[in-house]
C-alpha cells in the first residue's frame, strides 16, 4: 500500500516537472534593463511570474468570454420573456376587449328586452283597459235576458263565423288555459293572451246571442232591425263632433291593422248595435192593451163590415171585456192625442218613437192628456163603445211610418219577451 502511494506521488511529481520544464522553455527567466538619468536598473521576469501572468490573462479572458456569453444568453432570454409578456399582454387585451364587447352586447340585448317588455306591458295594459271597458259595455247592455229565439234550430243559438272573423267561435268551456311554466315570462304572456281570448270570446258570444235574440223579437213583429235603426237615426235630434269607436268608447286609439284591435272594434260595434236594437225593442208596443180578462173578436185585415155587411179592411184588432175595463199602454211613450176622433170615438194615441204609434179607440173614459209620458202597463182609459161601435170593446191599432201593422205580431213578440 505504501509502495503504490509512493509511485503515485512520483508520477504526479514527474508530470509537474515535465510541465514546468516546458514552461521554462517557453518562458525562460528574462531581465529587463531600464536606463534613466545615467542609471541602469533592471528587473527580472521569472518563469513563475510569466506563467502566473499568462494564467491571469487566460483566466481574465475566459471570464470575459463567459460573462459575454452569459450576457448574450440572458439578453436572449430577456427578449424571449419580453416577447412572451407582449403576447400575454396582447392576449389579455384581446380578452378584455372581447369581454367589453360581450358586455356591451349583453347590455344592448338587456335594454332591448327591457324596451320590448315595456312595450309589451304597455300593450297589455292598453288591452286590459280596452277589455275592461268592453266588459263594462257588455254589462251596460246586459239587462234582461232572452232565451234563444224559437225560430232558431231547436232552441239552440247558432253562431257562424263572419267574413271578418274566419275562425268559428267556441264556447267558453271549450277554451282551456295552459301554462307550461307559470314563472316563465313567455308562458305568462301566452297565458294572458289566452285569457284575453277568453274574455273576447265571452264578449263576442254575449253580443251575438244578444243580437240574435233581439232580432228574433223583431222578426216576430215582421220588422227589420236595419229599417227601425235607420228610421230612428234619421229622426233623432242629435249632433256633436265625430269620434271613432276607438276614441269614444275606449281610452286609446285602436290600430285596425292589428287583429286584436279589429276584433275588439267589431265586438264593440255589435254591442252598440245590440244596445240600439234593445232600446228599440224596449220602446215597441209589445204588451196587451187590456188590463183584465178579454177575448178577441176581430182580427187585423179583411173582414165583413158590421154596419154595411160588405167586405172591408180592418186596420186594427178588437178586444171585448166589461165596461170601463182598464185600457193600458202597450209600450212607453208620449201621448200625442187624447180626445174625440171621428169613427173612433174617445181616442188616445201614443208615440213610442222609432216611427211607431198606437191608437186606442171607442174608450168610455180617458185618463191621460196630450203631452203626458206613459209607461208600459199604465192605465190610459176605460173600455167603452163610443164612436162607430156596435158594443163595448177596444179597437187597437199599431202604426209604423203612417202605415198600420198587425197588432197580433207585436203581442206575440211581447209574450215571447215576457216569458223570458
Write down all domains in the chain, each with its CATH number in brackets: 2-115 (no CATH), 118-283 (no CATH), 295-419 (2.70.70.10)
pTM of the model: 0.56
Written as one string, the DSSP assignment of 13-80 is HHHHHHHHHHHHHHS--EEEEEEETTEEEEEEE-HHHHHHHHHHHHHHHHHHHHHHHHHHHHHHHHHH
pLDDT digit string (tens) for the chain, length 420 residues: 556 566 777 777 777 778 777 877 777 877 777 777 777 777 777 778 877 888 888 889 888 888 888 888 888 888 888 888 989 989 998 999 999 999 999 998 888 888 887 887 777 777 777 777 777 766 665 554 444 444 433 333 333 333 334 344 444 444 444 444 555 666 666 777 777 777 778 777 877 888 888 888 888 887 777 777 666 555 554 444 433 444 344 444 455 456 777 778 888 888 888 888 888 888 899 999 999 999 998 889 888 877 787 888 888 999 999 999 999 999 999 999 999 999 999 999 999 988 899 999 999 999 999 999 999 999 999 999 999 988 999 999 999 888 999 999 999 888 877 655
Instruction: Select from 310, 286, 304, 281 the least CA-distant residue to 396.
Output: 286
The cell numbers describing 294, all together, are 178579454
pLDDT in tens, 369-379: 999 999 999 99
pLDDT in tens, 349-408: 999 988 899 999 999 999 999 999 999 999 999 999 999 988 999 999 999 888 999 999
The cell numbers describing 353, all together, are 218613437
Instruction: Select from 368, 146, 109 the least CA-distant residue to 274.
Output: 146
pLDDT of the residue at 301:
86
Please state, in angstroms and rounded to a whole number, the distance separating the CA atoms of residues 170 and 191: 18
The β-bridge partners of 335 are 350
Instruction: Select from 144, 134, 109, 251 the least CA-distant residue to 203.
Output: 134
Non-local CB neighbours of 220 within 8 Å, separated by 6+ positions = 151, 409, 412, 413, 416
Please state, in angstroms and rounded to a whole number, the distance separating the CA atoms of residues 217 and 246: 30
Please state, in angstroms and rounded to a whole number, the distance separating the CA atoms of residues 213 and 206: 11
215, 255, 299, 350 from 150: Cα distances, Å: 12, 39, 24, 30
Amino acid at each position: 500500500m505504501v509502495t503504490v502511494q509512493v509511485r503515485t506521488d512520483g508520477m504526479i511529481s514527474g508530470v509537474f516537472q515535465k510541465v514546468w520544464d516546458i514552461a521554462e522553455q517557453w518562458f525562460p527567466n528574462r531581465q529587463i534593463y531600464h536606463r534613466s538619468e545615467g542609471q541602469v536598473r533592471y528587473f527580472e521576469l521569472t518563469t513563475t511570474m510569466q506563467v502566473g501572468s499568462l494564467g491571469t490573462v487566460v483566466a481574465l479572458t475566459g471570464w470575459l468570454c463567459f460573462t459575454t456569453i452569459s450576457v448574450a444568453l440572458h439578453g436572449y432570454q430577456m427578449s424571449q420573456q419580453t416577447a412572451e409578456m407582449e403576447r400575454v399582454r396582447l392576449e389579455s387585451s384581446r380578452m378584455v376587449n372581447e369581454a367589453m364587447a360581450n358586455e356591451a352586447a349583453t347590455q344592448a340585448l338587456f335594454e332591448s328586452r327591457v324596451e320590448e317588455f315595456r312595450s309589451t306591458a304597455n300593450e297589455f295594459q292598453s288591452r286590459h283597459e280596452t277589455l275592461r271597458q268592453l266588459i263594462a259595455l257588455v254589462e251596460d247592455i246586459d239587462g234582461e235576458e232572452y232565451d234563444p229565439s224559437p225560430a232558431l234550430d231547436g232552441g239552440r243559438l247558432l253562431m257562424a263565423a263572419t267574413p271578418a272573423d274566419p275562425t268559428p267561435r267556441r264556447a267558453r268551456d271549450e277554451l282551456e288555459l295552459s301554462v307550461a311554466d307559470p314563472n316563465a315570462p313567455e308562458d305568462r304572456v301566452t297565458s294572458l293572451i289566452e285569457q284575453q281570448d277568453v274574455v273576447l270570446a265571452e264578449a263576442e258570444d254575449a253580443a251575438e246571442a244578444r243580437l240574435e235574440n233581439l232580432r228574433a223579437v223583431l222578426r216576430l213583429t215582421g220588422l227589420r232591425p236595419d229599417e227601425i235603426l235607420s228610421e230612428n237615426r234619421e229622426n233623432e235630434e242629435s249632433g256633436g263632433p265625430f269620434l271613432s269607436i276607438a276614441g269614444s268608447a275606449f281610452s286609446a286609439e285602436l290600430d285596425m291593422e292589428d287583429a286584436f284591435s279589429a276584433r275588439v272594434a267589431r265586438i264593440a260595434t255589435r254591442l252598440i248595435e245590440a244596445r240600439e236594437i234593445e232600446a228599440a225593442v224596449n220602446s215597441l208596443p209589445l204588451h196587451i192593451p187590456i188590463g183584465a180578462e178579454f177575448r178577441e173578436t176581430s182580427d187585423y185585415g179583411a173582414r165583413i163590415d158590421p154596419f154595411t155587411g160588405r167586405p172591408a179592411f180592418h186596420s186594427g184588432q178588437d178586444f171585448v171585456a166589461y165596461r170601463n175595463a182598464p185600457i193600458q199602454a202597450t209600450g212607453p211613450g208620449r201621448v200625442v192625442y187624447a180626445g174625440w176622433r171621428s169613427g173612433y170615438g174617445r181616442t188616445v194615441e201614443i208615440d213610442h218613437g222609432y216611427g211607431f204609434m198606437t191608437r186606442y179607440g171607442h174608450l168610455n173614459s180617458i185618463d191621460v192628456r196630450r203631452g203626458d209620458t206613459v209607461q208600459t202597463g199604465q192605465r190610459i182609459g176605460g173600455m167603452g163603445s163610443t164612436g162607430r161601435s156596435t158594443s163595448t170593446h177596444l179597437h187597437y191599432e199599431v202604426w209604423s211610418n203612417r202605415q198600420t201593422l198587425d197588432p197580433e205580431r207585436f203581442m206575440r213578440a211581447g209574450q215571447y219577451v215576457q216569458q223570458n
